[in-house]
Chain A
Amino acid sequence: MGYSEKLLDYFQNPRCVGEIPDADAVAEVSNPVCGDVMKLWVKVGDGRIQDAKFKAQGCSAAIATSSYATEMLVGMNVADARLITRDQIAEALGGLPVSKIHCSVLASDAIKEALKGF
């Protein structure tokens, strides 16, 4: 399958799964390439992301990258969070097989969408 141990761990035991009922922003994005979807809830205060949760319907790489990116977000200041790139997420999970590189765009798109208004 060509996935790293770390990626499989985030797929099998995803962190930050769920919803935030009183979220400050909610973003829902779908991958234009394969149709995977991710929904991201964020709570923002003092220029920082206080909390973040996600849900996703997609392949193992989509779920793992979504989870990792959401976990990364918590505690970050908004300006830095906006700079998170798909490559950063993919690299942190040990890289992705060539045919799955498109998956990491889901999480970076969701972050940009959710932080649009801040």
Chain B
Amino acid sequence: MRPEVVAAMMPVFTEHFGNASSIHWFGQHAKSLIDDARQHVAKLINAEAGEIVFLSGGTEADNLAIRGIAESQKSKGRHIISSQIEHHAVLHTCKDLEKQGFEITWLPVSRDGLVNPENVRSAIRKDTILISIMHANNEIGTIQPIAEIGRIAAEADIYFHSDGVQSTGKIPVNVKDLGIDLYSMSAHKIHGPKGVGALFVKKATTLKPIMTGGGHERNRRSGTENVAGIVGFGEAARLARLELMPEMLRVRELRDRLEAGLKSQIEFIHVNGENAPRLPNTSNIMVDYAEGEGLVISLDLKGVAVSTGSACSSGSLEPSHVLTAIGKTPDEAHGSLRFSLSTMTASEDIDFVVEVLPGIVERLRELSPYYKGNSGSDH
């Protein structure tokens, strides 16, 4: 978290501990803090403050958007269009709806990780009630053609949800221009606290709440507001608008330098989604003849934290569904590495990775029965 975010949150624990639903002064002060935060989050995506619903995070935002529309629209139809590379919060929510009798069209993506808007258009049916396509992918960073999909959804008069957890604060987002009805956001992805997020719900959208109770957040999400979390989110959103997005230019340069450096020093590596528009802070690299978890552990031992789409490191022991969707075999996904940069990443950090990773890869490849003339079958 940014120190400014912590500083904004602290007084909420110690001084402004009122319940925002109470009419006494303490409560009203807490309410005004929430209102300020709502303004900051709304501004970040060019929404109205009244269109922001605070909740527990990106996962709840995706659940509320998808289940909320499904429940409110099921008398009109039960067909939803989504993609094969969605975050699990969307993927598993839609799969759950499938069990309840909804039909989901899972759109494929190109080898570069992009949904083709024409595929969205041709998937639309009379009973389609929702299109849910993420803005930017969490594993490979590819940015989907959201504006075009938004236009197609508007023409067909179908609700359009986009999971914006990865893109918020990293690239400019204007929900009005993009034709979005529902947009999921998470505070901790922009250096805010964990456990708080928001769903943008365009005015006049009919959404059935998934949480029933006291009717907080204009009846969209019941439950006493997480005032400190919301205040932290507001401050993080304010800082994101002022600093994070301009800083992303520098982050993109670092990312490009990382990729160029690794490509010049290591043979048999590929950058996933290289030819698509991508988030400036994400780099997903595939290393042939090495396994991702071993690379992650080796980097970790040198103080570098990265992740992998290798089956061997996932709880489910399945290779990443995103890498599978862009046409990678389980063997290829086996050697994937995801670097996430931030404004806190220094130029020296990049130099360090470019310096140590080639040796790590070489060491693991020397152990592989498949590398170079190391005998054995093709792999």
Interface residues of A (CB under 8 A from B): 1, 3, 8, 11-12, 14, 17, 19, 28, 33-39, 55-63, 99-100, 102-103
Contact = CB atoms under 8 A, between A and B. Distances in A.
A57 to B, nearest CB: 4
A59 B293 contact: yes
Contact of A35 (B334, B369, B374, B377): B334
A55 B369 contact: yes
Contacts, number: 86
Contacts of A28: 369, 376-377
B289 interface: yes
Interface residues of B, number: 32
B367 A55 contact: yes
13 contacts: A1-B297, A11-B294, A17-B366, A34-B311, A34-B312, A34-B317, A34-B334, A35-B330, A39-B369, A56-B368, A56-B369, A60-B298, A102-B317
A79 to B, nearest CB: 27
B291 A36 contact: yes
B301 A8 contact: yes
B227 interface: no
Interface in B114-168: none
A33 B293 contact: no
B290 interface: yes
Contacts of B319: 35
Interface of B: 289-294, 297-298, 300-301, 310-313, 315, 317, 319, 330-331, 334, 364, 366-371, 374-377, 379
A90 to B, nearest CB: 15
B310 to A, nearest CB: 7
B310 A63 contact: no
A36 B369 contact: no
Given A12-B301, A34-B311, A57 B291 contact: yes
Q: Which of B294, B310, B334 has the most CB of A within 10 A?
A: B294
B289 A57 contact: yes
Contacts of B310: 34, 59
